[in-house]
Amino acid sequence: MERPAEKNELSVGEWNVMESLWADAPKIGSQIVEDLKKSVGWNRSTTLTMLRRMTEKGLILCEGRGGIKRYSPLLDREAAVRRESENFLKRVFHGNVNWLICSFVEKQKLSREEIEELYDILRKAEETPDE
């Protein structure tokens, strides 16, 4: 059964919290408060509200010991990035990878190394059998 967290995209605020936890978990609430104060300017109340909501949504685990709450991510960063990428591709480019690549390549100056990396990715995709 899919957890509720896996059905929804992460909001910008949720990404901020998850980045803190993905960097180093578990963390106590005060560590996350400090991280988010530095990175996005949130106050204690905003961070604690977000932690509570994310716990209720099943995105993070909250374990309390002696009045101190420890938080851990329940969502793997790689899985979240993959899902976010797929959602972005569908939403913005109607699932068309060519449009995505063209939009970035046409607006950016690519180095020789970046072009070679793209060729390598395409070669690997060519070698992978269709599923």
Reading the chain (131 residues) residue by residue, the pLDDT tens digits are 234 444 568 999 999 999 999 999 999 999 999 999 999 999 999 999 999 999 999 999 999 988 899 999 999 999 999 999 998 899 999 988 888 888 888 888 889 999 999 899 889 988 877 65
pLDDT of the residue at 2: 39
Collapsing DSSP to helix, strand or coil, 11 comes out as coil
Three-state secondary structure call for residue 109: coil
DSSP E strand stretches across the chain: 27-28, 60-65, 68-73
Residue 3's pLDDT is: 45
Domains and CATH numbers, the chain: 11-73 (1.10.10.10), 77-127 (1.10.4040)
Among 83, 103, 92, 70, which residue's Cα sits nearest to residue 15? 83
CA 84/CA 129 separation, integer angstroms: 25
